[in-house]
Structure 1
């Protein structure tokens, strides 16, 4: 990245502010290994993919061809864990920004608000020239010299690509380009519409009414309609990826994820054909269940005395 004074932008103060905006956007999108948008989406899609192969293993079971995946308590635990994971992930990714200038909450609405708050700063000349790439994409004439020449992308090539992309973002044709072009408001509206998708809204309601808070019967009425289907998760997941990649393209100039489900470096089906528990262990497992139940029963019986100190 070239120094500010070497960039084809007149207002160096605004250029510095634009670079700071890109850094802030990068921090939200990928800066933190655990809490960034990238990390959240990768974890969500990885866990979703794992659940689907487990669910498929259950679906193919028949009366004469059973496996541990259909054990009632195991199935219930897997399903509930999946639902809680989905609603937590979608909820975090779509939580509204904090009132403190969009800071504090790492979510897509926070990044979208960052773009809206700096809409006039994210203009064509900044998008194209922020790092020293020339505004004019026309290649300069160079005298031909004999010998081996490496074919490489020139700064003018990069400028042309950025202009072409910003044409789509600003809804402008090449003959109507201007340095002051900004991202068209329809692009912002399209991202907001995706974040308001009925699948995302339903998952968020499920989180608020069932998972995160114990709503009373009146408030919870109808919440059974918010039960998750894989199609609902697909709709929500696609909307999240579309918004993420669009924001990343606008604010950092590049695709953020590319492969939401990472390539496994191991056999994901390893030991899937092994039994979940052995017959010889079932008695001990039953004893563990009984012990756990009795322990909790004891906590209940002595609860008041423990609190009152008697």
Structure 2
């Protein structure tokens, strides 16, 4: 007999035996896999995919705000936003941070080496393809208590309503349930969505209809877009590793950087895959906003000068002290490796 998977991050409202699914063992395995994917999407306390998106898109918005301030400086007169040393730091940090963030979401995970497992969007897409046999119509529709035969459920609902209301009283309203065996409208919508996912017409539906190749191939195609190819080459050969001349030559068309439109396209495509996986295939959360909603005033102190004029002498002295100390490291660090002769 099918048994319940261990309770994890997702709460199921209905037990396995209460679901209108004939292949109960497949439903048990689907729920277990769904729990694992939900953990990657939202539950991992350190590196959940949702947290990765939050950080990536927040840093992108923050840099673009700073970049816009530099445009104002060109029109209104220079301020700290156009200081060369600050601009170079912000720009290099932005490019490196975005390349690393996007690359993490594209990271592949080897199931044969769980000790090297990663939390990534690419991993979920690959695992869904590997477990596509679990995505049947009956499981997609009825995984948490919805009726498979939504038309019969609707007829029962109408009959019940008629026994409780006098049709001569005119128009009346009632709320339709969205969960459980009486939620015929939700079940109807899930069937219609799976018609698209499976490429099956509504007149020839069967419980064993499965995901069509077009959906999975489409996800792979998006994650294989040229912008990601260029970005990963940049990460591997320039940002994450200092590849030598021969190694760099093996990456045809290696770029020195990406432009803002390409970063925007990468974000756009990744958001599309996230929504397709989370809200559609896994019947989970729809991300409500791309850039996280700040819980503070993100514009605080931006109207102030970066360094008060009276502190510039002190700041210059700090700079000299800092550089002198690092210059000393050149010798002391060397002798940590190569001791001085006696």
| TM-score, normalising length: structure 2 | 0.85
The alignment covers a number of residue pairs equal to 310
Matches within 5 A, 1:222-301: 225-301=255-331
- 2:139 aligns to what? 126
* Match runs of 1:1-310 below 5 Å: 1-62=13-74, 65-100=77-112, 104-138=117-151, 139=154, 140=156, 141-142=159-160, 143-146=162-165, 150-153=174-177, 154-220=182-248, 225-310=255-340
Query: Partners in 2 of 1:177 and 1:268 — Cα distance?
Result: 52
Q: 2: CA distance between counterparts of 1:167 and 1:307?
A: 67
Q: 2: distance between equivalents of 1:34 and 1:41?
A: 13
* Shift in Å, 1:218: 3.5
2:134 match: secondary structure = coil
SS at match of 2:150: coil
Query: Secondary structure of 1:34's match?
Result: coil
Gaps of 5+ in 2: 1-12, 167-171
Provide the rounded CA distance (Å) in 2 between the counterparts of 1:308 and 1:62.
51
SS of the equivalent of 2:255 reads helix
- Between 33-42 and 219-228, report the one with greater CA deviation: 219-228
- Say if 1:54 and 1:224 are closer, same or farther in 2 by CA, change over 3 A: farther
Q: Is the 8 A contact 1:35 1:106 kept in 2?
A: yes
Helix, strand or coil for the counterpart of 1:179?
coil
Which 5+ residue runs of structure 1 have no aligned equivalent? none
Deviations 1:146-199 (A, max 9, x none): 498641334111111111111111122211221111111111111111111111
Output the aligned Cα RMSD: 2.1
Between 199-208 and 100-109, the greater mean CA deviation after superposition: 100-109
Q: Relative to structure 1, is the Cα distance of residues 280 and 185 closer, same or farther in structure 2, using a 3 angstrom cutoff?
A: same
Query: Which moves more between the two structures, 5-14 or 85-94?
Result: 5-14
Q: Matches of 1:20 and 1:183 in 2, distance apart?
A: 19
Cα distance in 2 for residues equivalent to 1:250 and 1:122: 12
State the shift of 1:236 in Å. 0.5
Distance 1:65 1:34 in 2: 43
Give, in whole Å, the separation in 1 of the partners of 2:121 and 2:148: 30
Q: Distance in 1 between matches of 2:278 and 2:333?
A: 53
Q: Structure 1 length normalisation: TM-score?
A: 0.93
Contact 1:120 1:182 in 2 (8 A): yes
Q: CA deviation at 1:296?
A: 1.2
